[in-house]
Structure 1
Amino acid sequence: MQTAACLGKLDAVRCMVEELGFDVNAGSQAGVTALAAAAADGRMHVMRYLLDKGADPNKPAHSGHHPLHHAAKHGRDEAARLLLSRGASIDVTYIGLTPLHFAAGYGMIGVMKVLLEHHADPNKVSEEGSTPLTEALHGTDSGVPESTSLKCVKLLVEAGADVNSANSETPLVIATRYGLTDCVKYLLKRVKHEKNTKVQLKSYAEKAIKRKDYHGASKFYTEAIELDPSDTTLYLDRSLCYLQMSEADKAVRDANTCIKLRPEWIKGYYRKGAALMSVEDYKGASDAFMSGLQVDPENAEMEKAFTEAVEGMKKDHLARKGSKPSD
C-alpha cells in the first residue's frame, strides 16, 4: 500500500483498505506507513483519504521518522499543513531532530513557514547539539545554496532563534568555517545588535535600581535574560530586585539558577541564603551559606552570614520550645 500511496494511486489504496482489509496504520518492512509515504511525495488526495480512514499522523517508522519529518524533508508545505490540522505533533523528534530541523537543513523555506506558524520551537536542541539554525548552515555542505540558507537563517532569527547558541559550535563559527560570507555578515550584525541591546537593558535596570524602582528593574533584567539566558549576573541582579520587593520565592529561584549555571560562583549561594533569611527560613539559609563556604572556605562575609543563620535557627528553636505548654 505504501507504493500505491507514494505514487498517488488512490483507487488502489481504496481497494486495499475497503475491499482487502489492509490496516491504514500498517508499516512497511521499515515501518513506514502509507501516510508517511504519501506525505513524502505530497499526495494530498491520498493523505486526506487515509486520515479520514483513521491513519495516525503521529505514528513513526522503525527509524523514528514521523510523517511530518517526511513532509518537512521533501518540502511538502500543504502536506505539513494537513498533518498539523489533523493532530500531528509539531516538535516530534528523531534523534532529537524536529521537523523544523529537517526543513531548515534541506532549505525548505515553505515548510519552515508552516511549522513556525504552528509555533515550532526554533531553539530545540538535538541529541548531537544542533538547532534548526545550525542545521540551516550545515545544509550548505550538502548542496543547499547559500542564498537559500541565508533565507532560512533570517526566518529562524525573526522567529526567535538564538544567534549566540553554542551547544556544539555557534552559528557564526559554522558559517565562517563553510565560507558563507553573506551569512557571516548577517550573523555578525545580529550578534552585535543583541549584545548592544542587552547592555542597554542592563543599564536601564541599574538606573531603575538607583531610583529604588525594583519592579521596573526586574522587568529590564527579564528582557535581558530572554536575549541571553546564560548570563548568570542577570539572574543574580534580578534576584536582588525580587528580594527588595519581598518576593523571596522568586529571589530563591533566580539564586538557584545562578548556582546551577555557575556552581563555583559564591554569590549565588549568598543571594539564596539572604532570600531565605528574609522569610526566617534559617535552616535553609544556613545550608545555602554552608554550600558557599564549601566553595570558598576563607570567605569572611559568607562565614558571618552562616553564623547569623545558625543563631537565628537556635533562637527560633528556643522560641518554639518556650511556646509549648508545660506539663
Structure 2
Amino acid sequence: MTAARYFLEKGANPNTKSSSTGTTPLHEAVATGCDEIARLLLSKGANVDAPSPHGTPLVAAAAHGKFSAMKILLEHHADPNKVSWDLGTPLTTALYVTPERMNESTCLECMKLLVKAGADVNCTTPETPLAIATNNGLTTCVKYLLEVGANINVPAKQVKKGDNDSKASLKSSGAKAAEGKNYVAASKFYSEDKSSDKDRKARLKSQGAKAVEGKDYAAASKFYTEAIKLDPADAVLYSNRSLCHLKCGEAHAALVDANACISLNPKFPKGYYRKGAALMSLLEYKQASAALSAGMKLKPENEEMQVAHRGAVGAMRKEQSEPGLRALD
C-alpha cells in the first residue's frame, strides 16, 4: 500500500497496462482482494471499466469471488453489463467459475450485488445466467435467478452450432423443472446436457488439432475458443489456444492464455513453455527464462523446454551486453 501510494504521488499513471497481461493495476488489485489499493487507484483516476483481454476489473473481481472488491467497483459506477469475450458479463463470469473457484454461497452474494446494481439476468453472452447455473448444478442460484425474473425459455439463438434436437429438449426439460421449483430434477436434466457438452468439447478440440496440423491457426483458435466456452476450467485448451495466438502474431493474447493455463493447472509443464514462448516474442527474455526454468523443474527431461530455455538465456545475455539493442528494434 505504501509503495503504491508513493508511486502514484510521484505521478505514476494508474491506467498503465502490463505489457505481459494487458491488465491495469486495478485489475490486479481487485482480483487479489487488495481493497485499499483498489480504492487508492480509483481515487487517483483509475478507469473503473478499463478493458483487458479478459474483461473489465469487475469481471476480474467476479472471476475470483472478491465480493468486497466488486462492491467498491460498483460504488464507483462500474458497468455490471460490460461483456468480456470469453466469460461474458460479470454475472455470467461468477456463475462460470463456480464451484471451481468459489463456493455457491459466495457466488450467490456476488450475484445479488450485481443484480442490485442493474445486471441483466437474461443476458445471452455467451449463455444465459439461468442456463449456466443449472448446468453447473447451482440450485440455490437457480432459485434466486427465477425470483428476480430470469426467463426460463432459452432463446433460439442460444442453441449453439452443432446442438441437436435432443440437447435442446434437455434444456427445455431442465427449464420446465426449474419453473416448477423442482431444482434437483432441473439439475439432473442439465447434467445430461453437460455430458452432451463434453462430447461437443471433444469434437471441437479434435477440430482444433486438425486445424493446427494444417497450419490454419486462426481457425484452430476459434475451435478452442468454442471449447473453452463449454469448459472454462480446462487448462489444456488455454495452452492450445496460446499456441494459435502466438502463430497469428498475437503475443499478448498468447501470454494471457498461458497465464490462465498455469493458473488452472500449475503442475502442467506445457503452460510454462507457452508462457516462455509468448514472452520471447515480446522480447521479455528474463521473464521467459524464468518461466521456462519453472517448466523444466516439472519436466527436466523435456528437450524442447531445454532448447527454449537456452535460447532465452542467450538472448538475455546478448541484450545485457548490448544495452541499446532493444531501443533500435
Q: What's the TM-score once normalised by structure 1's chain length?
A: 0.47
Rg: which structure is higher? 1
